[in-house]
Amino acid sequence: MTKEMEVTVGICAHNEEGNIGKLIPAILNQQSIKIKDIIVVSSGSTDKTNEIVEAYKQVNLIKEAKRTGKVSAINKIIKLAKTDIIVLISADVIPKTNTLNELCKPFFNDNIGITGGRPKPINSKKSLIGFTVHVVWGLHHLISKETPKFGECIAFRKVFGKLPKSAVDEEEIASQIENMGLKGRYVPSAIIKNKGPLTIKEFISQRRRIYAGHLTLKSKTGHCVPTLSNTKIALLLLKTVDFKAPIKTAFAISLEGISRLLGYYDYLTKKDHTVWEKITTTKKL
């Protein structure tokens, strides 16, 4: 990455004391990229998140008294960013030392407007829920190699001023970018360690919200996330699932299916997922 390209790193946080003290040093230690500013928007945090962030003088901490949804926090980051490129990274992940550089390389092509990295879960595959998490992210990786899907850590050009209300912020950004005539790119070498839910309840809560959000986004903008295709998912399952573990495989398929059915119900009933249900078991890597 040349010195001419500077980026702003934005982090949206709510009660992230379990990981944000690891995330910020990981960002500060990124190689071959110039970070102009790191902005953390802490929305209604009641734990030690703010205290931990304030220890880093290089970080601009914005405190929100009330939790009003991730899009609200992202809009603050967009408004404050002084660079053309913004990296948006979840507060409960850890990037490898070259991740931001890899994520931003494609922007030397003027036609690229958004890039997405590759989340790799640290969950153990031995448990049913851990196996399911790996199935989901394995599918996302295969799908993104064909048609980019965005989440966890993205970078995008600051070509719009504000996001509308949404439960799926990264894909909402991708929709805005598409409307500008720009393209997206998946960058599998931009690796981010993350942690999937450890309980069935939290897995379903997370997955139903995402599916409902994707359906809403498609109906509102026409932007179709590639994981909405059940046929494509079924075909790719043949490439990613270990069929030597039939019980775990059946469990993973069933749990994702239930989550999608509930997400479809939420979409039909117009349930508001703008302020997410708290997923606590993913917060400490």
Question: Domains along the chain?
Answer: 6-282 (3.90.550.10)
- What does the mean pLDDT of the chain come to? 94
Q: What is the pLDDT of residue 2?
A: 43
**Band (230; pLDDT cuts 50, 70, 90):** confident
Cα-flanking dihedrals φ and ψ of residue 278, to 5°? -70, 130
What is the pLDDT, as a whole number, of residue 270? Answer: 96
User: Who contacts 143 (Cβ-Cβ below 8 Å, separation ≥6)?
Assistant: 149, 226, 227, 232, 233, 236
- pLDDT tens profile 250-278: 999 999 999 999 999 999 999 999 988 88
Cβ 85 vs Cβ 6: under 8 Å: yes
> Helix, strand, or coil here: 235?
helix
Alpha-carbon distance 210 to 186, whole Å? 19
> What gap in Å lies between CA 261 and CA 247, rounded to an integer?
21
Report the pLDDT value the prediction gives residue 4, as an integer from 0 to 100. Answer: 65
Confidence of residue 231 (pLDDT cuts 50, 70, 90): confident
Where are the alpha helices (H) located in the chain, listed in sequence order?
A: 20-28, 49-54, 70-80, 99-104, 128-146, 169-179, 200-221, 230-240, 246-268
pLDDT number for residue 273: 93
Confidence (pTM): 0.94
**Residue 1 confidence (pLDDT) above 50:** no
The tokens for 154 are: 């993205």
Q: How confident is the model at residue 170 (pLDDT cuts 50, 70, 90)?
A: very high
* For residues 227-233, average pLDDT: 84
Q: How far apart are CA 224 and CA 183, in angstroms?
A: 14
**C-alpha to C-alpha distance for 84 and 82, rounded to whole angstroms:** 7
